[in-house]
Amino acid sequence: MTAATREILVVGSGLGGLTAAIRADALGHRVTLVTKGPLDESNSRYAQGGIAAAVFADDTVDLHASDTLLAGAGLSVLDAVRALCEDGPLRIHDLVRWGVVFDDATDGSGWARGLEAAHSRARVLHAGGDATGRAIVLALIETLRESGVRIVEHAFVTDLVMTRSGERRVAGVELLVDGGRQILRADAVVLATGGAGQLYEFTTNPAGATGDGLAAAWRAGAVVDDLEFYQFHPTALAAKGSFLVSEAVRGEGAVLLDAGGRRFLAGVDRRAELAPRDIVARGIADQMKRQAGLPVMLDATGIGRETLLRRFPTITRATTAIGLDWTVDPIPVTPAAHYFMGGVTTDLHGRTSLPGLYAVGEVASTGVHGANRLASNSLLEAAVFGWRAVQAIGADASPAGLSGDVEAPDRVVGDGPVILRSDLQHVMWNDVGVERTGEGLLRAAGVLGDAGGPDDDTVEALETANLLDVARLVVRGALARQESRGAHFRSDFPKTEDDFARALAWAREVPEHAHR
């Protein structure tokens, strides 16, 4: 190994992890990528609408940045937003170099461009119609397989491991693989473990989105922030599995109707169906309350059958599978937990507060999204910061990654009965969901604070324990933020307050050399 070559361990095979691994390999680092499922399973894979970047002639980095800042409701970090928007076009071209084929416009003018809520320009690139994530992930997996990256699938990271002596730093991970525990050492660990939609009863996220990386980083003592900000997607199919009906459908002209068949959002916000997600989600939740919990209807029939089938084949398949024909009739929709703005606090290059640990993509809190994410910025964030983290690793010192003793942090378990995952999800949905109150949050804090995590050594039990750690943090942040801002709405504090125009950050006090 040359002096600048590092042993890098990437955790996760979504866009953040794939970008970091491919880039690190290209720079000559020795890279291992571990992921808990098959390589092609991640939130990234299910992304529909697309990836935003200022790549068209009538668009600029400044416009993209100002839309992102507006959505962030005063909490986005300006430098992080600039990094995202400035690097964006470069990373789009990398994706193309790595084999991604974006859809072309039907008029032959170049790439097709989608318009999504709160974007002032049509700047969203898509692939495979509404299968953008799948197209990106599959292309990058092919590139990864041709690289020198060592791939370990079905390996569940249970915890980070820390050095026992000298500077306290992350020196690898502990894995549950083939039914046993193993420690994998590295100079640098890149967490790219995605979000935690499984905190909630209704979510667009796949089963694996259980906040494992965030919980592990928290246990190890990393600073985390913005955890009260969970974005609820306004329109998931009101049917088992909460399948996402992309924002892009409203971008193409679909409208939302109440139980009487009337549009209701114009009375909530002048941008109506294209208002930011939190406003649309709350508008729908309120309307559902007014109509005894009945879902509202999304009417996409005006878009036309031919466009719906070509542009949204995945949604067409999902609706057809449950006996709906959205080319002819409106379909029932409800809000669902979608994207975690908060996460492990990082700088502009994915560095966390723990030396040796980098975080990218949804598990990270880069400051890009602030209190609310602009649609289609998360795939871009994963690509931009996955790339940037590798730059940082090359530049940073790595004194003790591969030698010396290591240990995993201890776990905190409540004294109460073990909580079932479904009960946790129910509490989070009812009391820590789209609309919150101090009373509901205290109720949730009581239930979750006492709960014991399951102590089986199975992936499912460990995931539920991680969800419990993360849920407690979300409640803590939501209780502390006595205002409403972006995706965090408290009906007992409905106004945005200047005093809270800052991120709320937390770190666990880790006793010196705490053992499990």
Which residues contact ligand FAD (rule: CB under 6 A)? 11-17, 34-37, 41-44, 46-51, 132-133, 156-157, 192-194, 204-205, 208, 212-213, 244, 339, 361-363, 376-379, 382
Token pair of 184 as six digits: 């994998």
Of 48 and 301, the one with the shorter C-beta distance to ligand FAD is 48
- Least Å distance, CB 195 to ligand FAD, is 6
Of 48 and 398, the one with the shorter C-beta distance to ligand FAD is 48
Distance CA 150, CA 201 (A): 36
- Least Å distance, CB 382 to ligand FAD, is 4
Phi then psi dihedrals of residue 88, to 5 deg: -50, -55
Whole-number Cα distances in Å, 204 to 174, 188, 192, 220, 505: 29, 31, 19, 29, 26
Encoded amino acid at 227, one letter: L
31-55 in b/e burial notation, b at 16+ Cβ within 10 A?
bbbbbbbebbbbbbbbbbbbbbbbb
- Least Å distance, CB 1 to ligand FAD, is 25
Of 16 and 330, the one with the shorter C-beta distance to ligand FAD is 16
Of 17 and 221, the one with the shorter C-beta distance to ligand FAD is 17
- Least Å distance, CB 368 to ligand FAD, is 11
Of 214 and 424, the one with the shorter C-beta distance to ligand FAD is 214
Distance CA 42, CA 21 (A): 15
Residue that has been written with the tokens 């420690």 in this structure: 183
**Helices in 146-276 by DSSP H: which ranges?**
212-220, 247-251
Q: In sequence order, which residues have a C-beta less than 8 Å from that of residue 514 and are 6 or more positions away?
A: 407, 409, 410
| Residue 429, number of CB atoms within 10 A of its CB | 17
Whole-number Cα distances in Å, 382 to 216, 388, 391: 19, 10, 14
End-to-end CA distance of the chain: 34
Token pair of 37 as six digits: 């499922």
Token pair of 45 as six digits: 């894979």
Q: In sequence order, which residues have a C-beta less than 8 Å from that of residue 240 and are 6 or more positions away?
A: none
Integer-rounded Cα radius of gyration of the chain: 22
Classified as helix, coil or strand, 405 is coil
- Least Å distance, CB 344 to ligand FAD, is 11
The residues that bridge with 237 in the sheet, in sequence order, are 333
Of 36 and 282, the one with the shorter C-beta distance to ligand FAD is 36
The residues that bridge with 170 in the sheet, in sequence order, are 162
Distance CA 78, CA 86 (A): 12
219: annotated active-site residue: no
Of 52 and 441, the one with the shorter C-beta distance to ligand FAD is 52
Q: Is the dihedral of CA 293, 294, 299, 300 positive or negative?
A: positive
Of 87 and 441, the one with the shorter C-beta distance to ligand FAD is 87
Token pair of 360 as six digits: 């990218």
Among residues 277, 373, 421, 508, which one is catalytic? 277
Distance CA 279, CA 273 (A): 9
Catalytic residue set: 277
